[in-house]
Structure 1
Amino acid sequence: MFYSVAMTKSTFPLIPTLSVATTIFVWAAAFPAITLTPKEIDPLPLASVRFAIAASFAVIWLASARPRMMPLADLALCIACGIVSGVGYSVFLNLGQETVSAGAAGFLVKTESLWMAAFAVFLLKERFTAWAWAGMLACVVGVGLIAAAQPGGITLGTGAPLVLAAALCSAAGFTLQRGLALRHGALYVAAVTFIVAALALSPWLPQAATQMQTASTATVAWAIFLGVFPTAIGLACWVYALGYFGVARSGNLLYLVAPLAMLIAWAIAGETPALVTVIGGLLILSGVIVVNSLGRKQAARIDSTDKREAVPVEG
C-alpha cells in the first residue's frame, strides 16, 4: 500500500531509496567494524560504548517527541528486549567475531529468521510446509559448512556458536518487539531498548573509556561508528524506508547485508572470503528466502499486519 501510493508521486523516490541504501550499507559495515575494534577494545566494553552512544540519541528523541508512557506490562517487555536483543546480541556477536570472520558472521546472523520460524512453530503452533523444511535443511548445511571453517569449529563456547547465539537473541528480541512496535511505534520501542541496554552495560563503560584512551584513532573511530551509524542512524533510516515502501519490499533488500558485509570486510579488513564461506552463505540465504516465502505463505497472510513496524537488529 505504501509503495503503490509512493510510486504515483515519483518514479525514482530518491530520499527513500537513499534511506534503504544507507541502512543496508551501515548494517553490513558493522560486521567488519566489530572485527577490527576488539584488537584494542574488549567485546563487553565495546558493546557498552555502542549502546551509550545510541542511548544518547534515544534520550534526545524521547525528550523532543515526548511519547505517551507505555503500560507497565509493555515497558517490562521493552526491558526484556533491551537485555536480550541489545545486550545479548551485541555481547555474543562481539565475542564470536574475535575468531569468526566478518563475512561468515554476517551469514550466520541471518539464521535469525530460522529461529523466528521455529518460535512460530513451537510457540504459536504454525505449520511448516515441505518447502519450509527443505529451506531449514539448506540453512543447517550452510551453517555447518561455515562453522566448520572457523577456528574451533562448532565446539560450544567457540566463535561460530557464539554468533549463532547472537542470532537467537536477535530473533527472540524481534519476536518480543513485533506487538510493541505496532502499539507504540518502532522508534519509541527502539529508544527504550537502547537505554536499557546502555544501563545494563554501564559497568563496562569505565573500562571502555580507559581502553579507548590508548587505542588507535582508527579503532576509536570504528567504535563511535558502531554507536552512531548501524545503531541510531541505521534504525532511523530503516523506519523511514518501512513507512514508504512497506515491510515486504524493504525487508527483501536486507538479504544484501550479509554478502555486502563480506565484500566490505574484504576491502577494509583484508578478509579474503573462503570458498566454503561463500557456498555456506548462499545455502543460508537460499534457505531463509524459501522459509519466508514458499514455506510460510499461510502464516504470512494471517499475521502480515503484525510485521508492519518490525525492527530487525543487524550488525
Structure 2
Amino acid sequence: MSSPRDWRLLVAVGITVLAWASAFVVIRYVGPHFSPGSLTLGRLLVGSVVLTLSMVGRRRVRLGRREWALVALIGVAWFGVYNLALNAGERHVDAGTAAMLIQVAPILIGALAGLVLAEGFPPMLVIGGLVAFAGTLVIGVASGAFGSATSTGDADVAGVLLVLLSAVVYSVAMVAQKVVLRRVPGLQVTWLACLVGTVVTLPFAGQLLHEVAAAPTRSVLGVVYLGVVPTALAFSTWAFALSRTTAGQLGVTTYAVPPIAITLGWLLLGEVPALLAMLGGVLSLVGVAIARRPSRPVALP
C-alpha cells in the first residue's frame, strides 16, 4: 500500500504534467498578441507576485555562495532563456510538436544526473527512457517536424532549433536545481529563481506594456494563467517532487506531456494530430510507466 508521501509525490507530478502540457497550448493561443520577450516577462511577473505572496510567513533558509550561483543559473536558464526560446519556437511550431521536441530533455537530464549527481543509470530508467523517446519521435514524424504532412500543425527548422534550445537549458537547470534542493525548500528555490528570471527579462517591459494595452482580454488572461498555473504552481510542485525522487526518474515523467498537449491542441486550437501521433503518445506513456518501475537488484551467485 502506498504511503501518504507517495501519494503527495504522485499528485505533485500530476499537477506539473497537466499544467505544463496546457502551457504549450496557451502559448500558441496568445502568441499572435504577445512577442516572445513580453510574454516571458508577463508570465514571470505574475508568477513572481504569486510566489512572493506564497512565501509570506514561511521559514527561509540562508543560501550559501554556491547555492546563490546555482539559483541564478536556474533563473537565467530555465525561467529566462527557456521561456524566451520556447515562446519564439512556438511561433513556428505547433503545440503538440513543441511538447514532443522538449522531450529530448529527460534523456539529457538522465545523462547529466547519472554523471554529475552520481544517480547512476538504472536499467528500467534507461529502457523506459528509450521507449518513451521512441514515442516522441513517432509524434514528431506524425506532426510534421521531420517533413511529414500528416497533421494540421506546422513546423520549420528555426522553430525546431529554438525548442531544442529550450530542452538543453531546461536539462542543465534541473540538475542544478536538484543540488540546491538538498538543503533549500522547493518553494523558496522556485520563488528566487522566478525573481531572477523576471529581472533578466525586464528589458522587455516597454514592449509588454504596449502589447497588454493592445491585446484582447482573453489573451491577457492567458498570460495571467501562464504565470499562476504553469509557472508559480507547477514549478513549485515540480520542485517538491524533485526533492523526493531522482532527477532521472522525475525527468522521464514529462514524457506524459506530449499526448496531453496534442489532445488539448486538437480540442482548443484545431491542430488535429494524425493517428500516428496518437500511437506515439501511447508509446510515450508506456515508456513513462516502465521508467517509474524500480529496477530489480541483481542476485549474487
Task: Give the TM-score taking structure 2 as reference length.
Answer: 0.79
Distance 1:265 1:66 in 2: 40
Q: Which has the higher helix share?
A: 1
Q: Partner of 2:74 in structure 1?
A: 81
Distance verdict in 2 for CA 1:24–1:218, change over 3 Å: same
Q: Partner of 1:96 in structure 2?
A: 89
Pair 1:132 & 2:131 matched: no
Q: Deviations over 1:97-127 (max 9, x none)?
A: 1121112222222332101123245556745
Distance 1:131 1:190 in 2: 26
Distance 1:88 1:60 in 2: 25
Q: Partner of 2:184 in structure 1?
A: 184
Counterpart of 1:44, as a letter, is G
Pair 1:35 & 2:34 matched: no
Distance 1:160 1:298 in 2: 38
Q: Partner of 1:159 in structure 2?
A: 159
Distance 1:101 1:287 in 2: 23
Q: Partner of 2:168 in structure 1?
A: 168
Q: 1:47 aligns with which of 40, 52, 56?
A: 40
Counterpart of 1:204, as a letter, is F
Query: Are the counterparts in 2 of residues 53 and 224 from structure 1 also a CA contact under 8 Å?
Result: yes
Shift of 1:180: 0.7
Q: How does 1:251-266 map to 2 (within 5 A)?
A: 254-266=254-266
Q: Deviations over 1:119-158 (max 9, x none)?
A: 24555674585983795487268436252147455x3xx1
Distance 1:18 1:107 in 2: 23
Shift of 1:36: 0.8
Query: Are the counterparts in 1 of residues 75 and 194 from structure 2 also a CA contact under 8 Å?
Result: yes
SS of equivalent to 1:65: coil
Distance 2:67 2:296 in 1: 28
Distance 2:133 2:184 in 1: 34
Counterpart of 1:55, as a letter, is S
Moved more, 58-67 or 233-242: 233-242
Q: How does 1:1-315 map to 2 (within 5 A)?
A: 3-5=2-4, 22-120=15-113, 123=116, 126=120, 132=126, 135-136=129-130, 139=133, 142-143=136-137, 145=141, 146=143, 147-148=145-146, 149=148, 151=154, 153=156, 155=157, 158-237=158-237, 247=245, 254-286=254-286, 292=291, 297=295
Task: Give the TM-score taking structure 1 as reference length.
Answer: 0.75
Moved more, 100-109 or 142-151: 142-151
Shift of 1:213: 0.6
Counterpart of 1:163, as a letter, is V
Query: Are the counterparts in 2 of residues 266 and 272 from structure 1 also a CA contact under 8 Å?
Result: yes
Query: Are the counterparts in 1 of residues 102 and 163 from structure 2 also a CA contact under 8 Å?
Result: yes
Counterpart of 1:203, as a letter, is P
Q: Deviations over 1:62-90 (max 9, x none)?
A: 44325132111111110001111111211
SS of equivalent to 1:184: coil
Q: Deviations over 1:249-302 (max 9, x none)?
A: x95865443222221221221111133433444455555665x457x9499xxx
User: What is the RMSD computed on CA atoms of the aligned residues?
Assistant: 3.6
Distance verdict in 2 for CA 1:270–1:22, change over 3 Å: same
Q: Deviations over 1:206-255 (max 9, x none)?
A: 21111011111111110111001111123445566789xx648x958654
Counterpart of 1:211, as a letter, is E
| Overall identity of the aligned pairs, in % | 25
Query: Are the counterparts in 2 of residues 92 and 165 from structure 1 also a CA contact under 8 Å?
Result: yes
Query: Are the counterparts in 2 of residues 20 and 238 from structure 1 also a CA contact under 8 Å?
Result: yes
Moved more, 250-259 or 202-211: 250-259
Distance 2:200 2:75 in 1: 9
Query: Are the counterparts in 2 of residues 141 and 283 from structure 1 also a CA contact under 8 Å?
Result: yes
Distance 2:128 2:51 in 1: 41
Distance verdict in 2 for CA 1:260–1:240, change over 3 Å: same
Query: Are the counterparts in 1 of residues 123 and 295 from structure 2 also a CA contact under 8 Å?
Result: no
